[in-house]
Structure 1
Amino acid sequence: MAATRLIALHKNKGKSVAACLKSRTDYVQNPDKTQQGELVSSYECSPLTVDEEFMLSKRQYELMTGRRQKSDVIAYQIRQSFKPGEITAEEA
């Protein structure tokens, strides 16, 4: 059975949202922790440009609604963990 965790990513003081997104996405895609990227997947975006696509979506939302986010949460990471041998990366 998978353990799933939703992790809020917060903006760091003194850094722009774009810089925080870049450092966070680089960290979670670390080749040493993701079998050289094999364990990285995405939906409706490219792992190569995910930080830029997040910023574009954020700007489009603000332009369309006129609303700005008040929270320091800039994105969410979904992490799934499985017992060794329970499932393949493809199945997950």
Structure 2
Amino acid sequence: MGEPNILLDSLLSEAGISHAGLAARINAATSTARRPTRYDHTAVVRWIRDNAIPRGDVPEIICEIVGAKVGRSLSLSDFGMIRRTRHRAAAGG
């Protein structure tokens, strides 16, 4: 297990959004999507504690939700939610 995502935790605190509140806002934002989400507070805890990154466009949705509450534009790097790609070594020669 890596370091906790203190960036996300700090921004949620600044925005005055609880873990359950963030999950509910994400679910509301995706409710009309083809694949709506069903997050709860435990998912948000996992994102912070385990520095996990949610699938799909959920990190971008978090930027919009929290950015609106703090009154500024936020990026994925502000949340520590930049996906790192894994490069595979070329097989053979």
The answer to which structure, 1 or 2, has the higher relative contact order (CA under 8 A, 6+ apart) is 1
Q: State the TM-score, normalized to the length of structure 2.
A: 0.30
Which structure shows the higher strand fraction?
1
Q: Which has the higher helix share?
A: 2
TM superposition score normalised by structure 1: 0.30
